[in-house]
Chain A
Amino acid sequence: MAAVGPELDLTYWTIMREMVATGVAPHYAELAPQLGISPSESLRRIERIMELTPGWMHPGTDYIASFPPFNNQPTPYRVAVDGRQRWFAQCGFEALACSWFFPGKVVHIDAPCLLGDSPLHLEMRDGELLLAEPETVVGYTRSRLGMEEPNQPFR
């Protein structure tokens, strides 16, 4: 993996901080003045981050679609903290990683049943599963976990 510098740390951190605060990832042109850089440099950094992480841009656009564990585009995995549902998780698995961004808080995860049965509800705090309704919840993926693509470990 190519070396990265503090400028990429700051870019990642700034995007993630806004995602955690608002549930929405900034556009590269909104990000640029926050970082004191040009819009084109902002976009370049975002694209570099996407190469190194399991996030992605919406195809054919310059918009951040997914910035895991969160998703800019709504998904069935709704995440709520302090009674506010502002966030969507990238997928059911990434929903389980959201609590790391809300230390000490109970994170509620709600999702519909893909077979039309009653919804699922999970509660987590600091990576610990506090509640699963029903208790029989399982995770499964029919997508390959991206093992053959070193820079896309969990896409």
Chain B
Amino acid sequence: MNLFRSEQHARNWNEWNEELCWTLHPVVWWVETFGMSIFRNRARPDFMTWLAGEEGAEAMTQLRARVSG
């Protein structure tokens, strides 16, 4: 899970895998992804309870939907 200077840099990386090209996005897209509640809420003092509850499960579903190929 790496950051690259540009799409061309990513495609020129020796570990580039065309089958996973759907994971290639501008950094702003990944910023939005890592701004989802499942990441924001790690700073909550009750994060583990939240994660294991209904809200956490829903947040996980939303994350999976966003990062599915």
Query: CB within 8 Å of B: which residues of A?
Result: 1-6, 8-13, 16, 49, 52-53, 68-69, 77, 91-97, 100-101, 111, 113-115, 117-118, 120, 122, 124, 127-129, 132, 134, 136-145, 147, 153-154
Contacts and interface: CB of A to CB of B under 8 A. Distances in A.
Nearest to A118: B5
A3 B52 contact: yes
Given A69-B39, A113-B5, A137-B5, A142 B52 contact: no
A8 B57 CA distance: 17
Contacts of A97: 34-35, 39, 42
A2 B51 CA distance: 11
A97 B27 CA distance: 12
B5 A120 contact: yes
A145 B3 CA distance: 15
A113 B40 contact: no
Interface residues of B, number: 46
Given A4-B52, A5-B49, A100-B40, A139 B2 contact: yes
A41 B28 CA distance: 41
B31 to A, nearest CB: 5
Given A136-B5, A138-B27, A9 B46 contact: yes
Task: Give the interface SS of chain B, mostly helix, strand, loop or mixed.
Answer: helix
Given A91-B1, A94-B34, A101-B43, A141 B20 contact: yes
A138 B25 contact: yes
